[in-house]
Amino acid sequence: MSAVPHPELERWRAEFPILGTHTYLNSCSLGALSNRSMGYLGEYQRLWNTMGASAWYELWVGRIAELRGRVAKLWNARDVEIGLTPSVSAALSSISSAIDYTRRNRVVVADLDFPTLVYQWLAKPGVEVVRVPSDDGIGIPAERWAEYIDERTALVATSHVFYSTGYVQDLKPIADAAHAAGALFLVDGYQAAGQIPVDPRASGADVYVGGPLKWLLGGPGLAFLWVKEERIRELRPTIASWFGARDQFSFRVDELEFRDDAGRFSMGTPAMPTVYTALGGLEIFAEAGEAKVFERIAALREELLGLIADAGFEVKGAADAAHRSGIIMVRHHDAAGAVRKLAERGIVVDFRGSYVRASPHFYNTPDESRAFVEALRAV
Ligand SMILES: Cc1ncc(COP(=O)(O)O)c(C=O)c1O
């Protein structure tokens, strides 16, 4: 018998057609598409087709506000703290443009961070990027960060969950070390939001970035940016868009006044199809119950880890369950080949280097975990 809780969540499987045709274990790359989101895409097309530009003013602006509100609720935040950008990279670019590097020119990141996070500062002339190394290639003990942060540090920027190991960082001690040195703290939560609890303010962040693509089941084309309300006015971007201007529809070109909320970091017209698909994903989250979703992902993960160990495979991941998430890395001598062969059997996973990467979401089942491990043995 499986100990995975909330079997009632399995009724949501019918909402995701791909689950009827595939063993889908790759939500950390791209969450499954729901009927709800497809229905919303239909609404988007219908409105475009029947209303044209008036859909913008009469309805779509409201949908954008609704999306910000839903993200705010999910992250225990205020609507004014939420901005929408076309990607995590764009959100990071806008924030990185708003920081003064003249007195402090260092940005501290982790060796294990996703490249786009590090690239923001490698791209900036005069900024020195300091990388905190990982001894085991899996994670970094939170207390280690303080050794790399000092009065030269403008910003500490790192991931909530490392994309290639699933390691969950303890954010508060890192935030405390950054703030004690007078630096800002930015968190890339793309691999966290939707699979573990996220509360940017409680975690001590000044900036937190995530998006709908992966665990939040909303597809590509947008990212969600949270900026602590008390910090928003201090951060004046040096890249801009008319969506970030205070009085957007005054069309003034003699001056630029930024909005007072996190909308100041916007980068142009938002992708409406994604506003709609993201709303679908967030509604499903709210209805399924976030806490249940997180519990189920953790239980599926632990059960899958047990099956993998029993099958004799080696896993790269945190020894301590408190640092584990739903990203599971299984060592394989031909990870790319194994992923290809699994795909031929209808099992969708991914690979990074010499590891097969599986990421069960709340809609997966213990049977699917068993099917994956059996197939991995067979290939
Ligand atoms: C942790 C993390 N940050 C950032 C990104 C990339 O974000 P974007 O393509 O929206 O810039 C990814 C993509 O996989 C990621 O896993």
pLDDT, tens digit (0-9, with 9 covering 90-100), for 282-314:
999 999 999 999 999 999 999 999 999 999 999
For CATH 3.40.640.10, the residue range(s) in the chain are 41-284
CA torsion 265→270→274→280, rounded to 10°?
Answer: 70
- Identify the band that residue 269 occupies on the pLDDT scale cut at 50, 70 and 90: very high
Q: What's the whole-number mean pLDDT along residues 89-100?
A: 98
Q: What's the whole-number mean pLDDT along residues 260-285?
A: 98
Between the CA of 116 and the centroid of ligand 1 the distance, in Å, is 7
Q: Average pLDDT of the chain?
A: 97
- To test the ligand 1 pocket, which listed residue (190, 208, 214, 327) has its Cβ within 8 A of the most ligand atoms? 190
71 has a pLDDT exceeding 80: yes
Phi, psi of 174 (to 5 degrees): -70, -40
Ligand 1: residues whose CB is within 6 Å? 87-89, 114, 116-117, 159, 163, 188, 190-191, 211, 223
Between CA 273 and CA 282, with CA 279 as vertex, the angle to 5 degrees is: 140
Query: Which residue's CA is the nearest one to ligand 1's atom 6?
Result: 88
Q: What's the whole-number mean pLDDT along residues 213-223?
A: 98
pTM (2 d.p.)? 0.98
Between the CA of 158 and the centroid of ligand 1 the distance, in Å, is 12
For CATH 3.90.1150.10, the residue range(s) in the chain are 7-32+290-378
Between the CA of 161 and the centroid of ligand 1 the distance, in Å, is 11
Q: What's the whole-number mean pLDDT along residues 327-335?
A: 97
2 has a pLDDT exceeding 90: no
Q: What's the whole-number mean pLDDT along residues 205-226?
A: 98
Lowest mean pLDDT, pick from 1-10, 134-143, 337-346: 1-10
**41-284 under CATH 3.40.640.10, yes or no:** yes
- Identify the band that residue 43 occupies on the pLDDT scale cut at 50, 70 and 90: very high
Helix, strand, coil percentages (3-state) for the chain, rounded to 5, are: 45, 15, 40
**pLDDT at site 95:** 98
What is the CATH superfamily name and number for domain 7-32+290-378?
A: Aspartate Aminotransferase, domain 1 (3.90.1150.10)
Between the CA of 320 and the centroid of ligand 1 the distance, in Å, is 25
- Whether the Cβ atoms of residue 81 and residue 130 lie closer than 8 Å to each other: no
1 has a pLDDT exceeding 80: no
> What percentage of residues in the chain have a pLDDT greater than 90?
99
